[in-house]
Structure 1
Amino acid sequence: MSAGKIGCLVLYAVLAAVALTEAGSSIGALAIWVLLVLVVVHAVEVVVFFRLCQQAGGSLPGNMLQVFVFGYFHTIEMKAAVAAKQPG
């Protein structure tokens, strides 16, 4: 797992912890909003990178899930996989 993906997981864990432990405060509300924005942005990325998910090989649902969770960091790996499959 790349450092970027680990960073994403750490960020999600911190935001979730803040949202849960500081519920009702402005920092808790901010954490929830940031999480919601990330959900929307990553959902859009799944649509934008759908063709790349198909071309990368492996499990299409697995690639789509990883794009949803890790966003750009998974697209880097998929682009490398597609480039490695092309002759020349």
Structure 2
Amino acid sequence: MRLMACVIGACAIACIGAALWLLIVTAKYAGSEGYAPHSAAMPGYAAGGLEADGDGIFFPGLLLLAVGVFLGKWAWNLWRQP
């Protein structure tokens, strides 16, 4: 079980590292002039109390982070089994 926990833990570390890298790259892009260059001229769009401001580009990074946390928790539980 401990060997499997090590393999899953390595996958968790890789997922968390990739997620942090992806979130940093996405944040740099979202704050740059290249992201939605003509959005200032368009009126805001709201539906159901939520504004469509483009924050959905962070979803892949957050999803990868959630997968990494899940794998890390799973590896921790496997490590503690007798």
Same fold per superposition (TM over 0.5): no
TM-score computed with the length of structure 1 as normaliser: 0.39
Q: Which has the larger radius of gyration?
A: 2
Q: Which has the higher contact order (CA 8 A, sep 6+)?
A: 2
Q: Comparing both structures, which one devotes a greater share of its residues to strand?
A: 2
